[in-house]
Amino acid sequence: MSPEGERPPRPYGAPGEPPLPVPWHPPPGGEGDLRAKGWAPLPRIVLWWGLLVAGDVVFYVLLTPVWIGLRAAAWVAELRSRARR
């Protein structure tokens, strides 16, 4: 509580509080326009894209053939099992 005995203002988003008139402006008590935040630093963008490409390579180049091979082995085993009956 404040020294005067009154409650501090409720945080933005409290029940009953009206929504922001313009959604990209900061909530009451915020500073500046959120659009002024700017771009991420270039090293972080490069790191993000590098990790994304590495993940794609691991998934599509390494793991997909393994999965297809396992499925093919399962299909062959099932066909052999049916042929024995």
Is the pLDDT confidence value at 35 over 90? Answer: no
Q: Is 2 part of any domain?
A: no
Is residue 22 assigned to a domain?
A: no
CB contact set of 32 (below 8 Å; sequence gap of 6+) = 26
Question: pLDDT at position 85, please?
Answer: 81
**48 occurs within a structural domain:** yes
60 pLDDT higher than 90: yes
- Determine, yes or no, domain membership for 63: yes
Q: How many residues can be counted in the chain? A: 85
66: three-class secondary structure by DSSP = helix
* Structural domain containing residue 64: 38-84
3-state secondary structure of 65: helix
Asked, for residue 14, whether it belongs to a domain, the answer is no
Please check whether residue 21 lies inside any domain of the structure: no
HSE at residue 10, side-chain half, CA atoms within 13 A, is: 7
Residue 73 within a domain: yes
Calculate the alpha carbon distances from 62 to 42, 53, 55, 75 in Å: 29, 13, 10, 21
State how many domains the chain has.
Answer: 1
